[in-house]
Amino acid sequence: MEKKNIDWSNLGFGYIKTDKRFVSNFKDGAWDDGVMTEDDKVVISECAGVLQYAQTIFEGLKAYTTEDGRIVCFRPDLNASRMADSAKRLEMPVFPEDRFVDAVIQTVKANEGFVPPYGSGATLYVRPYMFGSNPVIGVKPADEYQFRIFTTPVGPYFKGGAKPITIKISDFDRAAPHGTGHIKAGLNYAMSLHAIVTAHQEGYDENMYLDAGTRTKVEETGGANFLFITKDGKVVTPKSSSILPSITRRSLMYVAKEYLGLETEEREVYLDELSDFAECGLCGTAAVISPVGKIVDHGKEICFASGMEQMGETTKKLYDTLTGIQMGRLDAPEGWIREIK
């Protein structure tokens, strides 16, 4: 398929309508076969469960053009299983995991012309999502659902790409203990909007949320997990039952250990130990690894030795190795790369 005429290297993280999307409906207890359609409009009841009680979940993954010109997706099976976990927590039907992966592949294939070329710095972002579609007025789960997947070509999530960002310790909480922080529910993002608008108004790029129970431990940002590098080169990531289990973070911890021979640790990370770390980064599908240069705790600045100009040395190694695997420059662990044929 011929590539679309897009200025790939100057894309930000925005929405561009692509040609095709996948749609499947759940009714009378079963999912239909699903179709690929050009229709980007969703028509639902004014009283749909998603509109009244926010019964909606989503996923995010990317398709890449490799160095040798293949189109691949990164670990879509993990998005499928996380979406199943999200669905169960919000009393929604699970879209079968094998069908999820198949639909992702079909949707990327149908929009091949929008997959950015190798070396452009852009990728095709894939957004699977599901919502309650029939009228619900008493507080209860919907009976009917729609599962959709659209794609959009994207550039870096943070303006400036690899330039370190500044983070604010938020006064707002993202997720409660025993709440929904560990699933990818739209409601987690709705409640973060006021916090992120406030942080942006104050000149920060992102928020660091703390654990709501004690406000002493690091959780995550609105859209990425944290990674820290100790002064002796260990990779540390916060452990918490109320953060999203990032596929990028899980992959990076494996890469750190198995490809780079670094020591890794998933453990509780306390706010008052932040100044002991040498490097800090945000990791996620959209963020990839975005370096953090500074964290501000109510006026008190915590500056990492890696500075505000470039990625720290270990963060850069992790970035190069992960993107090397995703773009086919390095051999991937078994099952990590799904080729779109």
Q: Which residues are catalytic?
A: 184
In the list 34, 116, 128, 284, the residue contacting ligand COI (rule: CB under 6 A) is: 284
Per-residue binding letters, 236-275, with ligand COI (x by CB under 6 A): ----------------------------------------
CA atoms of 167 and 218, how far apart (whole Å): 12
Which DSSP string corresponds to 220-264?
B-SS-EEEEEETTS-EEEE--TTS---HHHHHHHHHHHHTT---E
Minimum distance from CB of 82 to ligand PLP (Å)?
7
C-alpha 165, offset from chain centre: 18
> Under 8 Å CB-to-CB from 140, ≥6 apart: which residues?
none
CA atoms of 145 and 100, how far apart (whole Å): 15
Per-residue binding letters, 44-83, with ligand PLP (x by CB under 6 A): ----------------x-----------------------
What are φ and ψ of residue 208, in 5° steps?
-105, 120
Q: Of ligand PLP, ligand COI, none, which one does residue 294 interact with (CB within 5 to 8 Å by kind)?
A: none
Minimum distance from CB of 74 to ligand COI (Å)?
11
Q: Of ligand COI, ligand PLP, none, which one does residue 246 interact with (CB within 5 to 8 Å by kind)?
A: ligand PLP
Taking CB under 6 A as the rule, does residue 173 contact ligand PLP? no
Question: If DSSP codes are grouped into helix, strand and coil, which group holds residue 102?
Answer: helix
Closest CA to 129 of 100, 161, 165: 100
Beta-bridge partner residues of 236: 228, 265
Other CB atoms within a 10 A radius of the CB of residue 237 amount to 24
Minimum distance from CB of 299 to ligand COI (Å)?
27
Kindly identify the residues of this chain, within the stretch 234-253, that bind ligand PLP according to CB under 6 A: 244, 246-249
Kindly identify the residues of this chain, within the stretch 95-134, that bind ligand COI according to CB under 6 A: none
64-72, 116-124, 281-289, 314-322 -> range binding ligand COI (CB under 6 A) = 281-289
Six-digit token string for 152: 């959009």
C-alpha 90, offset from chain centre: 19
In the list 156, 284, 291, 312, the residue contacting ligand PLP (rule: CB under 6 A) is: 284
Question: If DSSP codes are grouped into helix, strand and coil, which group holds residue 312?
Answer: coil
In the list 153, 156, 223, 328, the residue contacting ligand COI (rule: CB under 6 A) is: 223
Give contact residues for ligand PLP (rule: CB under 6 A). 60, 220, 223-225, 244, 246-249, 284-285
Give contact residues for ligand COI (rule: CB under 6 A). 60, 223, 284-286
